[in-house]
Every structure is written in structure tokens, then in C-alpha cells.
Structure 1
């Protein structure tokens, strides 16, 4: 009888399986042995594509960043492009929250992350911002987007009404959890609008 054909192991399959595992169970669940089991292969075969677990995590992070839409910088004025990009970035991170701590560390050597940084930074420079200020804006945007994706403000409050009897201004805090998506999204959008409006005003005043 012919031997059953094995599915070809590729970088893409490894990244996909690792991403699914991280999404489902978190970064701590990922190991070379667990990943090999998920793929139905022997552990050593993974090393033909990735030298370490850290390389796989980097590849997963880059694959997530590759989903962010940066096309706005080629078609829109910088304020609108910055807003649309930030919203796309946050939406992608919301789909993959467990990889956010890795992305919060910066682009490192990841191609998609560096391409995204190039698109944002390049658009700001072309819009007339100084190199230093464009760097500051890029950093600020990363703080806002990744920070909003790292955790929920609304879910940080307990739902027990008795807890807040000593804190009269927090009377409605127990209701935040029930509406956490609207609260967190509203806070992000408000911050984004204020940030971009403020930057646009500074540019109009010639402060770049």
C-alpha cells in the first residue's frame, strides 16, 4: 500500500497554527512541542523553518501587523489618513489581543511592522512635519493604539454596588462592565479625535 501523503509543512502553516494557538490560549501556551502537536508533525521539523520560538512569535506579530490597512496614506490628507489607519490598527489588535504585548515593544526587525512605520512616518514628513516631530507623533500613535488594546478601562471596575458606597462620584461604576465595549471604543475615538485635532491646529500655527 502507498504511504499516506503528509501535508507540506510551510512557514505560513506554522505561523497560522501559532497565531490560532496564541489567540485561543495566550502567549504562554505556545511551545515548539505544542505547536508540533497542533500541526501533526515532529518537533524537529519546525526548526527547518524557525530557529527559535521567539522567531515564531515575531512572525505571528508581523502577520498581524500585515492586516492593518496603510493604504490611506497614499490617498488621504494626513489627518484623515492617520485617523483611518489608527482605527484599522486598533480593530486588528482587537482580533488578536494576546499578541499586543509583543507589538507594544516596537517593530524590531519585522518587515510588515517596518513597512507600516515607513508609511506613517513618510506621510508625516511629506506633510511638512519635522523629522523629530514626526517621530514623536508616530510614538504617540503607538501609545494610544496599543495602550487601548492592552486592556479595558471599563472592565477594571467591580460590579458590586456596595463597594462604591464610600465613593459617591463612582456611583455608576458597577454599570461600566456591561457597556465596556462602548466605553472603551468611545474613549479611544475621543482621544484620537482630540489628538489629531490638536496636531492639525499646531501645524496651522506653524508649530512643527
Structure 2
């Protein structure tokens, strides 16, 4: 029998199939037995590419991280640090909201995942280049990840039922319109994210002006005209 032109199994094919399962049914749907059945192979053949189920889920999570736009952090891009963080946050959240079931894996941090580490490296490097002290640049990266992943873990609007009777004004005098939130999910959730993001960046900008720029303004040139 002639050898097939393409190998029956590959890392990319396993990750694509696992990602589809996660998107459709959640993290619990992924098992080596289920994946082998979906791929039409024997279970042990998966171990030629991944040692454990956790490694497969890590690869799925990293495939989502790889969808995040990092171009705004390129040195020649021209966007200031605040605009870059804003645009990156929108791209990051868009990727997560397309694949919400994998967010719990991403929320654990990048670990050894290459795409996840590239995200962390890009954010940290851009903040340091902008003048943030390395320790504060690290905190900013952590803060942004907390905010973005937290926003993608669930929908505030979908947390309310569309039954007006559930919000008796005698018990909940201020929830008379709560039954309308579910049908306005995108408007509410996207608006809340943008509001929070701008407030977060406003706060960082204040710290930057008083701390980073203030520190530069306070520095004096040495006697030879150079800056310390």
C-alpha cells in the first residue's frame, strides 16, 4: 500500500480538533479517548505529539493567544503607550470572547506557551521603552491580564433573565429594566469593558505624569551636560 502523502496525525490537526471541542462543549469535553475518536486514530498515537491532556489544552490556549494583535507594540509603530495598551486590550478581548471556554486556561498565565510569552514580552518591553520602571511595567501587564480575562469569563448582561416578573418592584425597586439586559448583551458588555478600560488607562496616565514624567522633569544635567 502506498504511503499517504500527508501524515495522518499532526500537532496542528490535534490542536484544531481539540479547540473545536472546547468551543462547542467546554474544557471537560477534551480527553485523549474523545480526541482519538474525533480524529479517527488510536488513543496512543496522540502521545507521539502530546504527553498529557494538559499539554493539549495548553496548545489550544496558545493558539488563541496567537490571534492577539501585537503590532501596536512594535518600536516603529508610532502609537504612544496608552493608545497601544488600549488597542491591544481590544484585540486581546476579541480573541477571548471568540473562545470563552478556554479563558480559564489562559487566566493561569503563559507558563511555557510561546505565543503567550510573546504577548507578555511585547507588553513589558513597550512599557519599559515608554519609561515605566520595570517593576511597574510588570504590574501593568498583570493588571491588564486580570482585567481582560476577567471581562471574558462571563457576561454581566446574560446574568439577568428576560422575565419581567422576576424583578418585582416591591423587592427590587431599581431593577425595572433588568429583564431587557439579556437582549442587549453586546451593547452592555462591550460598553462596560470600554468604560472600565478607559478608567484604568486614565489612572495609569495620571501615575505616568506624576511619576515617570515627573521623575524625568526633576532630573538635572551633570556638569558636563550629560544626563545621569
Provide the residue aligned with 1:138 in structure 2: 141
Provide the residue aligned with 1:62 in structure 2: 62
The counterpart of 2:202, out of the listed 189, 193, 197, is: 197
1:24 aligns with 2:27: no
Confirm or deny: 8 A CA contact 2:17 2:38 kept in the other structure.
yes
Provide the residue aligned with 1:112 in structure 2: 115
**Whole-Å Cα distance in 2 between the matches of residues 92 and 10 of structure 1?**
24
**Whole-Å Cα distance in 1 between the matches of residues 167 and 25 of structure 2?**
33
The counterpart of 2:103, out of the listed 97, 100, 104, is: 100
**Whole-Å Cα distance in 2 between the matches of residues 4 and 42 of structure 1?**
18
* Alignment RMSD: 1.5
Shift of 1:171: 1.1
Between structures 1 and 2, the one with greater helix share: 1
**Whole-Å Cα distance in 2 between the matches of residues 125 and 171 of structure 1?**
48
Provide the residue aligned with 2:178 in structure 1: 173
**Whole-Å Cα distance in 2 between the matches of residues 91 and 56 of structure 1?**
22
Shift of 1:160: 2.1
1:125-164 equivalence runs, <5 A: 125-164=128-167
Provide the residue aligned with 1:46 in structure 2: 46
Instruction: State the TM-score, normalized to the length of structure 1.
Output: 0.95
Gaps in structure 2 of 5+ consecutive residues: 214-228
**Whole-Å Cα distance in 1 between the matches of residues 17 and 167 of structure 2?**
44
Provide the residue aligned with 2:84 in structure 1: 81
Instruction: State the TM-score, normalized to the length of structure 2.
Output: 0.87
1:121 aligns with 2:139: no
Confirm or deny: 8 A CA contact 2:124 2:141 kept in the other structure.
yes
**Whole-Å Cα distance in 2 between the matches of residues 164 and 18 of structure 1?**
40
Q: How many residues align?
A: 207
Shift of 1:3: 6.1
**Whole-Å Cα distance in 2 between the matches of residues 42 and 13 of structure 1?**
14
Shift of 1:83: 0.6
More contact order relative to length (CA 8 Å, sep ≥ 6): 1
Provide runs of 4+ in structure 1 moved above 6 Å: none
